[in-house]
A and B are shown apart, each in its own frame.
Chain A
Amino acid sequence: MNVWLDAILILIVILGLFIVASTRMGTMIQIFGLQSLFLGCAPFFMYAHEMELYIIIVSLAAIVLRAFIMPHFLFWAIRHVSLRSEASPWIGAGTTLLLSGFAIAGSFLLASKLHFPVKISSDMVIPSSFSLLIMGFLLLVGRTKAISQVVGYLVLENGIFLFAILLLKKMPLLVEMGILLDLFIAALVMGIVVNHISDEFNNTDTIQLTTLKD
């Protein structure tokens, strides 16, 4: 089963690279949805021999919210936006891709140094999670469109969720669901604010958000 888990993790990281390399908002959101779908499936492979109802609930909730509802909502948020690609990002797609490559290598290096106290089902979980985190960060700082930054945040959250899968059995259901609900509301609120930005400024470029400074 570990082979399948590794394959899914590799797929998740590659989809992360795909998001980082694309500059079209629609593509980014769709690929994010796909990545979340695989992410939600990962627990089924990781805990294949010790399945519990609780794990199924969390994974299914994650799939429904992250892979279907959130992307739909993000599309809603940009429905009035005509200019749907990143025109002049702070860090270009090529550079981000290169940096992401380094980030993945760095994550593997770092994870090999970190000693995880108990045995885990795959060595690739932690490095993949760190890679997603860094890719999310790169999107957050490198892009100027509000919606790209939202996707960056969500990719970062995907990285954290991947790490959380390791601890799925230790976390109470209440907390797991609370975190998921918070993330969902966060995406909702971000979508609404993006909508406000696009109404007020006629597009979603955060470059214009520079009136407040000292």
Chain B
Amino acid sequence: MLIFLVFFPLIIGGLIFILPGQKLRNGMLLFAALLHSACVVSFWKFKPVISINGFLGLDALGLLVLSVVSVLFLMVSLYLMGYFKNESDLSHRVFIGFLLFFLAFMTLVTLSRHFGLLLIGIEATTLSSVPLINFVKTRQSIEATWKFLMICLIGIALALLGTYFLAVAGIDNVQSLFIDKLLIHAKELSLPWFKMSVIFLLIGCGTKMGLAPMHTWLPDAHSQAPSPISALLSGCLLNCAFLSILRVGQVCYAAGQAQFFSSMLILLGIISLGVAYVFILGQEDYKRMFAYSSVEHMGILAIGMGLGPAGIYGSLLHLINNAFTKGIAFLVTGNLYKQYHSKKVSEVKGVLREFPITGIFLLVAFLAVSGVPPFGTFISELIILYAALIGHHYWVAFFYCLFLALIFIGVADIILKMLQGTSVRQDNSPHPKESWSMIVPILFLIVIVLILGFYIPPFLNNVLRGAAGLLGG
């Protein structure tokens, strides 16, 4: 079953390249996304068995990230139905095909139970997203793609070296990189090599996750990619990278090195918040602003992970909230770009008056991204703050609150300028319509984030607790 989940998007993705007609290919994409979600939903009810010699398996952590990926992918594929009009045949083929490959490899990352396979998956997600980011093929997008490719590949190479160090650490007793085996024998690992491997893996996967100071590819790639792709990068890909860091965390916890792991995560997290603040302030490109907001939220995830049991629970909850919020934010920027043909804040004015629905969505995106109640992000950010306070990490709590407040002001300044005022559009040509397929997915995501702000369903709570338990939470 698990192997099917990895392979069917690959097969359909391959089929896409020979299928004629845009409608048919769109239909196949939607079918694949629905099938994927259906499988994932069934996993919540029936626990799948481990397959191919223990290489693939699903635990609570994997299930959490897999579900986020699946839901967001479904929404993005719905959104894409209305997004692409009049694309040339070839580029449409390439786009949809690689989108499905991307899904397959992200699934592989969430399912793999072997560190080597995990890194193969991470590298494959990088490679399959290259044609997606470089879709428009302007000079800027080529530049963004180049940076993304080189920085992420070097990051993954370092992570791979870290994985080999991990193998060396266990060379005379564990003799394997299977996560389950490592967890059982974690206490016997040779400590110097193990610590070195943790550092390399953190730096490597942190690069992919967009933690500052290794985040430099992120704003470029997010701002140059088509908006639905930015949503997937921000909501799915970064979380997959975070999952790989969590796998390292699992081993650290089992080896009794949780302190070492969490102090590094807190440091990287605080730096990310600081960097995000500096670059959000006065940002001229609204997609870049949301990209830096991604850096900020990855920082929050990292901080939460370093703050002990309550923080770990909050961080996992924030993972879900942040993924869907970022989905909303970037899909809205897609609508905005369709309507204004510009990514500049100064050229987008009076959204509320001209495009009421998009305007309201933008407002919601702003509130949810900033963690304002009643959205789910508020609850999870609050839990992380609570964890910092009960853990007596007062300095962490101080910087956390300070940067969140400052970033809120920075984002508010930008978004409110865009929402208010009268349009700067000169021509009085009729507005492009706000098509249903570009509204419904956003609405659906908003509903999820709103519900999570009021109520965490028991089944989700169980999985969250189970996942936190894996990390010592």
Q: Which residues of A contact B (CB under 8 A)?
A: 114-118, 133, 140, 146, 149, 153, 156-157, 160, 163-164, 166-167, 170-172, 174-176, 178-179, 182, 185-186, 189-190, 193, 196-197, 200-201, 206, 209-212, 214
Contact = CB atoms under 8 A, between A and B. Distances in A.
A153 B150 contact: yes
Given A196-B145, A212-B220, 7 more contacts: A117-B193, A118-B172, A178-B116, A179-B120, A179-B160, A193-B142, A214-B283
Contacts of A172: 114, 116
B140 A206 contact: no
A189 B143 contact: no
B13 to A, nearest CB: 14
17 contacts: A146-B146, A160-B164, A163-B161, A167-B171, A171-B167, A175-B117, A175-B120, A176-B116, A178-B117, A179-B120, A185-B127, A186-B123, A197-B142, A211-B139, A211-B143, A212-B144, A214-B288
A193 B123 contact: no
B293 to A, nearest CB: 14
B147 interface: yes
B161 A182 contact: no
A170 B144 CA distance: 38
B139 A200 contact: yes
A160 B146 contact: no
Interface of B: 55, 114, 116-117, 119-120, 123-124, 127, 130, 134, 137, 139-140, 142-147, 149-150, 153-154, 157, 160-161, 164, 167-169, 171-172, 175-177, 190, 192-193, 219-220, 223-224, 279, 283, 288
Contact of B134 (A170, A179, A196, A209): A196
Contact of B153 (A114, A115, A163, A186): A186
Nearest to A196: B142
A167 B137 CA distance: 41
B165 to A, nearest CB: 9
A71 to B, nearest CB: 18
A209 B146 contact: yes
Contacts of B145: 193, 196
Sorted nearest first, the 9 A-B pairs with minimum C-beta distance are A175-B116, A178-B120, A209-B143, A182-B123, A212-B220, A167-B167, A117-B171, A117-B172, A214-B279
Given A116-B168, A197-B146, A212-B143, A160 B134 contact: no
Contact of A182 (B55, B127, B193): B127
A114 B192 contact: yes
A172 B192 CA distance: 24
A197 B150 CA distance: 14
Contact of B167 (A115, A149, A170): A170
B56 to A, nearest CB: 11
Contact of A149 (B116, B117, B150, B288): B150
B116 A179 contact: yes
Most B-side CB within 10 Å, residue of A140, A176, A178, A201: A178
Contacts of A186: 123, 127, 153
A23 to B, nearest CB: 20
A140 B150 contact: yes
A62 B46 CA distance: 41
Given A167-B171, A170-B176, A193 B134 contact: yes
Nearest to B138: A200
A166 B95 CA distance: 40
A128 B461 CA distance: 50
